[in-house]
Amino acid sequence: MGPEIAIPFGAFATAIILAIGVPLARAYSRRMDADSKNPRLPTEVTDRLERMEQALDSVALEVERISEGQRFTTKLLSEGRGAGDARHIPSSSASPPDRAT
């Protein structure tokens, strides 16, 4: 194989390698960049996070139930005091008690 065949063959081979290699290298570098921006979590961590989310939801539900019970108890106590105060206040139509001096 003489230089008159080797040089054009080398030029064609270089052009083909660059035409295929450069897009492959760019795609590979973009894939690596995308993976670094969005790291994948192991399944154990994902499962644990899901269990923690469910636990937080159940705690929030229980806190809501407790606060609702507290509101109900406060309402009952305030209504009981209001009714008790009304019984001890003398009515204005009743005659005042006689005073012995």
Instruction: Encode pLDDT of 65-96 as tens digits.
Output: 999 999 999 999 998 876 555 555 555 554 55
Non-local CB neighbours of 1 within 8 Å, separated by 6+ positions: 9
The 3-state secondary structure of 53-99, one letter per residue = HHHHHHHHHHHHHHHHHHHHHHHHHHHHHHHHHHHHCCCCCCCCCCC
Q: Where are the domains of the chain?
A: 11-40, 41-86
Instruction: Encode pLDDT of 24-76 as tens digits.
Output: 999 999 998 888 887 788 899 999 999 999 999 999 999 999 999 999 999 99
Q: Tell me what pLDDT residue 82 has.
A: 63
Q: Tell me what pLDDT residue 65 has.
A: 97
Residue 3 has pLDDT above 70, yes or no: yes
